[in-house]
Structure 1
Amino acid sequence: MTAYIPRVNAIPYDVFANPAASVLLPIVLGTSVGFSSRPGQTQSTYLAMKQPPLRPPPRVFGPVWTLLYGLMGYAAHRAVTQFPSPLASTDHMRTLYTAQLGLNLLWMPLFFGLRRPVLALADIVSLVGLNGYLTYLYFQVDEVAGWCQIPYMAWLGFATYLTAGVGYMNDWDISESTLAKKAKKAKK
């Protein structure tokens, strides 16, 4: 039996071949998504939600994600360019990387834009699984690339805990109206 996997347009090999482009692409895309989500509103939403223990202050997320996006891009550069030619042998890794980057960039609009913690949790769980496999592949090709993924995997695990914790503690409803009602109730 053969499984059908639809062809995803992967990020071109030339992006991975250039270390600066490979590192900057996820940083620029992640920053763009972060700013398109209106940081001030996102921060106030974050502070209005009931949070699980160990939640970091909002100011931590920007620098941490910038570092992780850079490591992610560098890892991809090293892993993809270790093959002798940019032909079919890199297609699989480039496609997986493209898919995980898409899932990563989708989390913030799902959680803070649509305010759907269940969908955000499904997204991040998929992201963890995909990156676990990608990390395994990277270690097969280049040890440094694999190790560059480890901080990202650790942070994804922590982010999964935070996503599930926020969802659970807020009865899986972080809509504006619900948070406003809770804030009004807390003031009384």
Structure 2
Amino acid sequence: MTSYIPSITLPAQVFAQPAVSILLPIALGTGVGFSVKPKETQETYLALKQPPYRPPPKIFPPVWTVLYGLMGFSAYRAWTTGMASLDPQKVLLTKQGATLYTIQLALNLVWMPLFYELKRPIEATVDIVALTGVTGYLTYIWGQVDEVAGWALTPYLAWLGFATYLSAGTGYLNGWTFADKERNVPPSTKSEHTKYVDEEPEKK
């Protein structure tokens, strides 16, 4: 059973206001995405050997925007429903979920810098495994408070499972090191090159 820890939990005002609750994870996720330089991140992603079913880089921004929005909606829904409940157990679960939510958000935001900026696939994979576990427990906790809040986290949890596969698969295929992973592409054509390093070249 996870405890409610106010000192490491987002303020109640974040959960109680729908606009803040929904927009905060979107803003933080977008900020982290831009901080690691999107163009360089895409080039790194394409330069790495990838497991099957890897999505193209352009898929990630819209998917994460939707998932962050659902995450924020779930937080608002669980908090407002749970804190208004006359059941002390639901109130306790709501507060415990708030701490779990804050922890998972922090784990979420550090994955991209670990994976792309610092090029630490082992640490990034450990991070996303922990993130998936915490989010799974959060889904269970807030699902007991409000079914809608629990279901709103389900797409996020499913995507994290897929992302864990991609993170671990990419790390394994690249020997768990991304050092000196650069594409052999002339600068003049680099921005137009969209193929993965392990894809077959087009036949002319």
Q: Structure 2 length normalisation: TM-score?
A: 0.82
Q: Secondary structure at the match of 2:43?
A: helix
- Secondary structure in 2 aligned to 1:67? helix
Q: Does 1:110 align with 2:109?
A: no
Q: C-alpha distance in 2, partners of 1:84/1:125?
A: 30
Following TM superposition, by how much is the alpha carbon of 1:95 offset from its aligned partner in structure 2, in angstroms? Answer: 1.0
Query: Is the 8 Å Cα contact of residues 16 and 76 (structure 1) preserved in structure 2?
Result: yes
Residue matched to 2:54: 55
- 2:97, 2:56 → 1: CA distance? 34
* Equivalent residues of 1:10, 1:91 under 8 A apart: no
Instruction: Flag the 1:183–1:166 CA change in 2: closer, same or farther, 3 A.
Output: farther
Asked if the contact 2:107–2:128 (Cα under 8 Å) also holds between the matched residues in 1, the reply is yes
Matched, 1:166 2:188: no
Structure 1 residues 10 and 146, CA, compared in 2 at 3 Å: closer, same or farther? Answer: same
Matching residue of 1:24 = 23
Residues 64-119 of structure 1, C-alpha deviations (whole Å, 9 max, x = no match): 00000000000011111112459973432211111000000010010001100000
Amino acid at match of 1:174: F
List gaps (5 residues or longer) in structure 2: 186-197, 199-204
Indicate the RMSD between aligned Cα atoms, in angstroms. Answer: 2.4
In structure 1, runs of 5+ residues without a counterpart are none
More helix by share: 1
* 8 A contact 1:8–1:95 mirrored in 2: no
Given the two structures, how large is their TM-score scaled by the length of structure 1?
A: 0.89
**Structure 1 position 120 matched with structure 2 position 115:** no
Percent identity over the alignment is 57
Counterpart CA distance in 2 for 1:103 and 1:119 is 11
Contact 2:5 2:99 in 1 (8 A): no
* In structure 1, distance between residues paired with 2:61 and 2:125: 20
Larger Rg computed on CA atoms: 2
Structure 1 contact 25–73 (Cα < 8 Å) conserved: yes
Cα separation, 2, equivalents of 1:6 and 1:71: 24
Is 1:149 equivalent to 2:153 in the alignment? yes
Distance in 1, Cα, partners of 2:82 & 2:106:
24
